[in-house]
Amino acid sequence: MSDTPSRPAAALARRRCVIVGVGSRSALYQDAIETVHAAAAELVGLCDANAGRIELARRRSLANGARPAPGYAAADFDRMLAERRPDTVIVTTPDATHVDFVVRAMEAGCDAITEKPMATDAAQCRRLLEARRRTGRQCRVTFNYRYSPARSQVKDLLMAGTIGDVLSVDFHWMLNTHHGADYFRRWHAEKKNSGGLFVHKATHHFDLVNWWLGASPVSVMATGKREFYTPATARRMGLAGSHERCHTCPEAGACAFRLDLAGNETLRALYLENERHDGYFRDRCVFRPGIDIEDTMNALVTYDTGATLSYSLNAFNAWEGYTVAFNGTLGRIEHRMVESVYADGVESAPGGGTQAVVTTRVVPLRGAGYEVEPWTATGGHGGGDRLMLEDIFSAAPAADKYLRAADERAGACSVLVGIAANRSLASGGRIDVADLIGPLPHPDHAPMPTRRDALPMPAAARG
Ligand SMILES: NC(=O)c1ccc[n+]([C@@H]2O[C@H](COP(=O)([O-])OP(=O)(O)OC[C@H]3O[C@@H](n4cnc5c(N)ncnc54)[C@H](O)[C@@H]3O)[C@@H](O)[C@H]2O)c1
């Protein structure tokens, strides 16, 4: 008889996962489950509205050295849950469909992992929060931006009280005309699918602020417009006008915004070769009429800590990345990241040619400013994706003093800022976030060390 203590059966069982929505983003989860985390998880089902992409995902399993999981049409999602009995449902469909899949998964007794944004309107948020309470199942929202080492470092500086109590934040996010333009080609270009960039994209940014500050949003005022991705811009560029799509565009050779689906192996296999199944064009003209999302957005947000945020998002910028500054009672942190866009135009990661990629600078109220050596890691989204996947799939994730794992409470607190911004665009007024769904659920936050009633001013700063 072996003297090795036997592990309980539960510890040996791999987590059974299914994925719904096997487009571009799902590959991250599929590859993690089938390679790095294969000892802890297994892929037991694939579901999509497009039969061709299901077959592509099954071929991806073979390339990963894994047995392909059975595929199910979107209409057979509930049957997949009944037959495949997953522990976890991973939702990587277009934004406006997330909540329905998450709720049905939880009602079937599964936990859910959903891509951001968790929801695209207030009714969806309420529905998910109610289902979470009723079923007791877990919902994780994959805010990978939190895991980027340089952003975790900013959290570390704030938690350490480096600049005292944060009273205001200035945050400006730029998308360049490769990455930014892509949102105007795809399903994202219609608010009914994505909630617009205030929801689809800014959910990352509003979550970062909530998490960095350990705060919940109270009110939002916003402005927004679309003046670049328009038929008029096509004419200013010397084109006759906008067209249906790049693949058949009579002016493709003259357009700097052409996306060559046929010339990109990944995009061709995922989208062009599967159009016959659903008629979805991945390369629609970025200047066409009918787009209803903004390309230029500003928001002023107040928080329950008293902090205020001045935010902007621009989708046709000369460079990709962001600047954020925290104004605290003891000084200021200025953090900047320059990003470069991946070849398929879908994602970006730190990297800026000759420019400094990441800079983080602390400027005390009275004293010399200094640069902080940035924390780094490799991989998608500045190494954030890899760290997040470890946190999700590892059988024993390391304790995390920054509390980066996010649930539906953080998902709601982030997305409701964007939803309030959209309402503010429509009404022209200030929107109280609590008016959208009632009292906000409060996420768990790592403790922030300072409080406004005990400002530690250095002696030299007085008088
Ligand atoms: N966290 C990040 O940094 C990050 C990055 C990229 C994408 N995302 C998110 O991932 C999600 C998917 O984005 P993507 O770029 O992979 O889009 P995509 O268009 O490449 O893939 C979406 C897939 O969902 C399928 N689908 C559409 N409607 C469906 C339905 N009703 N039922 C089942 N399947 C359906 C489509 O056929 C397609 O295969 C989005 O919510 C997006 O916000 C997150």
Any ligand 1 atom below 6 A from CB of 88: no
Of 226-230, 312-316, 333-337, 394-398, the one with minimum mean pLDDT is: 394-398
**Residue nearest ligand 1's atom 7 by CA:** 25
| pLDDT at position 10 | 45
The H or E element that residue 337 is part of is strand 331-341
The domain ranges of the chain are 15-144, 145-228+291-378+407-437, 231-278
Over 80: is that where the pLDDT of 353 sits?
Answer: no
119 backbone dihedrals φ, ψ, rounded to 5° = -150, 170
Q: Are 166 and 213 in contact (CB under 8 A)?
A: yes
| pLDDT at position 236 | 96
Q: Distance (Å, rounded) from C-alpha 200 to C-alpha 215?
A: 21
Over 90: is that where the pLDDT of 284 sits?
Answer: yes
Q: Distance (Å, rounded) from C-alpha 425 to C-alpha 198?
A: 10
Any ligand 1 atom below 6 A from CB of 74: yes
Candidate of 92, 193, 273 to mutate for ligand 1, largest count of ligand atoms within 8 Å of Cβ: 92
- From the options 3.30.360.10, 3.40.50.800, 3.40.50.1000, 3.20.20.70, give the CATH code of 145-228+291-378+407-437: 3.30.360.10
Cα-based distances in Å from 296 to 194, 227, 313, 349: 16, 8, 6, 22
116 secondary structure, DSSP code: S
Average pLDDT, stretch 352-375?
A: 86
Q: Give the CA count within 13 Å in the CB-facing half-sphere of 33.
A: 27
393 backbone dihedrals φ, ψ, rounded to 5° = -100, -20
Share of the chain above pLDDT 90, in %: 85
Residue type, position 430, single letter: R
Residue 455 — very low, low, confident or very high, per pLDDT cuts 50/70/90?
low
Of 74-83, 92-101, 408-417, 449-458, the one with minimum mean pLDDT is: 449-458
Q: Distance (Å, rounded) from C-alpha 263 to C-alpha 31?
A: 24
Q: Distance (Å, rounded) from C-alpha 24 to C-alpha 236?
A: 33
**Residue nearest ligand 1's atom 21 by CA:** 23
Q: Which residues of 105-140 are buried (b: 16+ CB within 10 A; e: fewer)?
A: bbebebbbbbbbbbbbbbebbbbbbebbeebebebb
Over 80: is that where the pLDDT of 381 sits?
Answer: no
End-to-end, the C-alpha distance of the chain in Å comes to 78
Candidate of 30, 47, 48 to mutate for ligand 1, largest count of ligand atoms within 8 Å of Cβ: 48
Q: Which of 226, 287, 280, 225 is nearest to 256 (CA)?
A: 287
State the chain's mean pLDDT as an integer. Answer: 92
| pLDDT at position 449 | 77
| pLDDT at position 395 | 81
Q: What is the CATH number of domain 15-144?
A: 3.40.50.720
Q: Distance (Å, rounded) from C-alpha 31 to C-alpha 327?
A: 41
Candidate of 28, 30, 93 to mutate for ligand 1, largest count of ligand atoms within 8 Å of Cβ: 93
| pLDDT at position 376 | 84
pLDDT in tens, 215-267: 999 999 999 999 999 999 999 999 999 999 999 999 999 999 999 999 999 99
Q: Are strands 41-48 and 71-73 parallel, antiparallel or unpaired?
A: parallel
Any ligand 1 atom below 6 A from CB of 94: yes
Residues in CB range of 63: below 8 A, 6 or more apart: none
Average pLDDT, stretch 427-449?
A: 94
Q: Distance (Å, rounded) from C-alpha 448 to C-alpha 421?
A: 27
Q: Are 198 and 173 in contact (CB under 8 A)?
A: no
CA 297 to chain centre: 17
Provide the whole-model pTM.
Answer: 0.94
The structure tokens listed for 27 are: 């590959």
CA of 116 to the centre of ligand 1 (A): 10
Any ligand 1 atom below 6 A from CB of 25: yes
Q: Which atom of ligand 1 is nearest to the CA of 186?
A: 19
| pLDDT at position 427 | 97
- CATH topology identical between 15-144 and 145-228+291-378+407-437: no
CA 263 to chain centre: 28
| pLDDT at position 340 | 78
Torsion of CA 101, 102, 107, 112, to 10 degrees: 130
pLDDT in tens, 40-92: 999 999 999 999 999 999 999 999 999 999 999 999 999 999 999 999 999 99
Q: Are strands 88-91 and 111-114 parallel, antiparallel or unpaired?
A: parallel
